Amino acid sequence: MDMIFTARQLQEKCREQNQPLYMAFIDLAKAFDTVKRSALWTILQKIGCPDKFVNILRLLQNDMMATVLDSNGSQSDPFKVESGGKQGCVIAPTLFSIFITMILHLVDEKLPTGVEIIYRTDGKLFNLSRLKPKTKVTKTSVIELQYADDNVVCAHSEEDLQATLNSFAEAYEKLGLSLNIEKTKVLFQQGPANPSAMQGIQFNGVTLENVDHFRYLGSHLSTKVNIDTEIQHRLSSASAAFFRMKQRVFDDRDIHRDTKVLVYKAIVLPTLLYTCETWTVYRRHTQLLARFHQRCLRKILQISWEGRQTNVSMLEEAKTTSIEAMLLRHQLRWTGHVVRMPNHRLPKQLLYSELKNGKRNVGGQEKRFKDGLKADLKNCGFSFPLLEALVF
């Protein structure tokens, strides 16, 4: 959630202040299976792990064997596996996270500045004038959004993105990892007031594909900086989840309908509202989601349209709430979570920030995340200072 929120905030702020945004979504080829174990042991020693502890981990990974099972059921002779994490080992994901973290230490310190922001976390989120005193703001740069083996590098220019990508690729290579060129994509978001053409980002002589939208950590980012594509994919995924359970659960007369509603809440709704905490929602999006929600509940409760039962009474019968209420609860809960974060966390920095460079257009702005938040707080009778006081 952190990195998805950060990516969406970067897109919004670049659009708001008329700055271009170049993002490269890096895909590593078989990252977990190609880790150099010798490099991993060296890294653990450098970060202060005792030799005895490292030796124990080494012994757990040694003598790892594997076999191959073909489509005919024939099994190959066992062979030794000398790279990658041990499948099924509970500590393997932690070791891989430590391994990936070292990438940031290997990257050249002379990297381009990325996307520079200024922020101030002492409240007054909706008052932009708080960022004018230069002595009270903090400056930082957003260069990469690393989550496990998924990484996004970003910049304001094509040249800076190319240099950043080259530096990361070199660091990956030192640790035995390699980029999957076919799955590594580039997303170019033009500055609204300063449109420009993109020449193309290259790696090993191959021009990376430039896309209009990309699925990042299960959520779709678009150059249009809206969630239209995301909503369509959420509806499609939730519909598929509903119909997978329809015959076995929702149409089964032996299952109590309260149980059916619980299954719907546990499986379909989380699919429908995945990462909704990060969305900038327009009324058209709410209507699409609400229509799906109501249609599913009517099928579960076996309520026909001829019965003329209102949506309000149907929600009461299902003992659930409307989509609008769910979105409100999710976004306010997420905002409280971000406000409580330490100041060094990227989501909090982005929420309270603006770009160091760039100017807004005169007049009204396109809807932003904090505009939706402000409207939600107003509907609840809260102010942001009151929200901050409540979350601590």
Average pLDDT rounded to a whole number, residues 151-161: 91
- Model pLDDT, residue 25: 94
The C-alpha atoms of residue 263 and residue 257 are separated, in whole angstroms, by 10
Given a cut of 90, whether residue 112 has pLDDT beyond it is no
Would you say 192 and 202 are in contact if contact means Cβ atoms under 8 Å apart?
no
- Model pLDDT, residue 375: 87
- Model pLDDT, residue 391: 62
Write phi, then psi, for 199 (nearest 5 degrees). -80, -35
- Model pLDDT, residue 197: 67
Average pLDDT rounded to a whole number, residues 182-198: 78
pLDDT tens digit string along 320-330? 999 999 999 99
Q: CA-based diameter of the chain, in Å?
A: 74
Average pLDDT rounded to a whole number, residues 350-360: 89
- Model pLDDT, residue 186: 92
Confidence of residue 382 (pLDDT cuts 50, 70, 90): confident
- Model pLDDT, residue 390: 65
- Model pLDDT, residue 322: 93
Among 104-113, 165-174, 282-291, 383-392, top mean pLDDT goes to: 282-291
Lowest-confidence range among 228-232, 236-240, 246-250? 246-250
Enumerate the β-bridge partners of residue 22.
Answer: 155, 188
pTM above 0.75, yes or no: yes
Helix, coil or strand: residue 356:
coil
Write phi, then psi, for 73 (nearest 5 degrees). 90, 0
- Model pLDDT, residue 276: 94
The C-alpha atoms of residue 185 and residue 211 are separated, in whole angstroms, by 7
Confidence of residue 195 (pLDDT cuts 50, 70, 90): low
- Model pLDDT, residue 261: 92
Given a cut of 70, whether residue 109 has pLDDT beyond it is no
The C-alpha atoms of residue 49 and residue 45 are separated, in whole angstroms, by 5
Write phi, then psi, for 5 (nearest 5 degrees). -60, -45
Q: Are strands 21-26 and 185-189 parallel, antiparallel or unpaired?
A: antiparallel
* Structure tokens that stand for 268 in this block: 């379909």
Enumerate the β-bridge partners of residue 185.
Answer: 25, 209
The C-alpha atoms of residue 140 and residue 90 are separated, in whole angstroms, by 36
Q: Are strands 185-189 and 202-203 parallel, antiparallel or unpaired?
A: unpaired
Average pLDDT rounded to a whole number, residues 175-182: 84
- Model pLDDT, residue 207: 87
- Model pLDDT, residue 330: 93
Q: Are strands 115-119 and 353-355 parallel, antiparallel or unpaired?
A: antiparallel
- Model pLDDT, residue 275: 94
State the sign of the Cα–Cα–Cα–Cα dihedral 343, 349, 354, 355. Answer: positive
Average pLDDT taken over every residue of the chain: 86
- Model pLDDT, residue 392: 55
Given a cut of 80, whether residue 355 has pLDDT beyond it is yes
pLDDT tens digit string along 32-54? 777 788 888 888 888 888 989 88
- Model pLDDT, residue 274: 95
Count of CA atoms in the C-beta half-sphere (13 A) of 286: 12
